[in-house]
Homo-oligomer: A and B are copies of this chain.
Amino acid sequence: MAAGRRVEKREDLKRRLIDAAEVRIGKSGLAALRARDLAEDAGCALGAIYNAFEDMDDLILRVNARTLARLGQMASGTGASDPGARLKELALAYAAFASENTNLWAAIFEHRMAGDRPTPEWYLQENAVLIEQIVKPVAKLRPGLAQRELLVRARTLFSAVHGIVTISIENRFVGIPAANLKAELERFVDVLVTGIEGTPDR
């Protein structure tokens, strides 16, 4: 028989488990994910999950990495050259992704490592896609800013937009009209860009 049959099957099981977890999280949310369900979905024994992955956290991180990759791909296309317009594009694309893939998107931010183990380094690096594309337009708006500073500003911009999208989707406040997230974000980015243009570097 072929020499690589074993690793091949192993990779296949991994893929099936990640697929199943992705479907389950997408349908019912991270909190409803069950190891026994995944084993049934993937057609393997309960214990087999722990041959393929360190633990459930590891598996969840693989799913989240996929979602992050999709987010990165979505933002990586060449967009508007005007930095303000580009930032608006990115914000709207992020909001659209969150609206259309709510459970998978939420899993990225809801997940916490079991016990108090640290998040693995490889996964933390996957998160970079969330701010990578923001750096360039910010650099255009703030020429002369060091890369180090640009990253901090990009992170702040992302965080602000992320917060708006998150709170809007969470529906945390009663009595507030179900605002149009898209319109609200457009206004917000407009205000922000105007503010950046009218504020000297510091």
Q: Which of A155, A162, A172, A198 has the most CB of B within 10 A?
A: A172
Query: How far, in angstroms, from A169 to B79 measured CA to CA in the complex?
Result: 31
In this complex, the interface size class of chain A, counting residues with CB under 8 Å from chain B, is 35 or more
Our pick among B166, B193, B196 for the contact of A163 (Cβ within 8 Å) is B166
For the complex formed, measure the closest distance between the CB of A64 and the CB atoms of chain B, giving whole angstroms. Answer: 12
State whether B125 touches A174 (Cβ < 8 A): yes
The SS class assigned to the A binding surface is: helix
User: In the assembly, how many copies of this chain are there?
Assistant: 2
State whether B191 touches A152 (Cβ < 8 A): no
Query: How far, in angstroms, from A202 to B187 measured CA to CA in the complex?
Result: 8
Query: How far, in angstroms, from A148 to B180 measured CA to CA in the complex?
Result: 13
Residue A81, interface by CB 8 Å: no
Interfacial chain B residues near A175, Cβ < 8 Å: 128, 151
A-B contacts, 23 listed (Cβ < 8 Å): A31-B112, A110-B110, A110-B112, A124-B172, A124-B174, A125-B174, A130-B173, A151-B177, A155-B176, A160-B161, A160-B163, A162-B163, A162-B167, A163-B167, A187-B202, A190-B195, A191-B192, A191-B196, A194-B194, A194-B199, A195-B196, A195-B198, A198-B198
